[in-house]
Amino acid sequence: MARLIPAAERIIRARALIQQARELSVSPDIEGGRNNFSYIANVKDHLRQARDLVKFIPMTAGVSVEMKEEVKRIFQEADQADQDILR
């Protein structure tokens, strides 16, 4: 059975994944650079994982309003990272 991860830990991990997406390097020797499909897929995968970690937190019973606001900020950070990195 899978181990449950507390909501606070999920938020920390989601932020780390967003940061990893920002730090992915674009290989200059590969044709296309930022338009390389592998690079785009890696960035999108990191951001998807970050969103997936926190998407059910607001639906959980007993979660504080502050925690729900943190989840909203995670989604905003992921969207902003997507725009900054890929556009």
Residue-wise pLDDT for 32-75, tens only, equals 666 788 889 999 999 999 999 999 999 998 899 999 999 999 99
pLDDT at residue 37 in the model: 86
Distance CA 14, CA 6 (A): 12
Range of the domain at 34: 7-86
Is 71 a domain residue? yes
> Could you tell me if residue 37 is inside a domain?
yes
Residue 54 lies in a domain: yes
Query: Is 25 within the bounds of a domain?
Result: yes
pTM (predicted TM-score): 0.88
In 3D space, the residue among 5, 11, 14 whose CA is nearest the CA of residue 66 turns out to be: 11
**∠ CA 14-44-86, rounded to 5°:** 115
d(CA 37, CA 43) in angstroms, rounded, equals: 10
Assess if residue 73 is contained within a domain.
yes
- The region, left, alpha or beta by phi > 0 then psi within -120 to 50, assigned to residue 73 is alpha
Q: Residue 68 falls within a domain, yes or no?
A: yes
Residue 1 lies in a domain: no
Per DSSP, 4 falls in state P
Residue at 74 is within a domain: yes
Report the domain count for the chain.
1
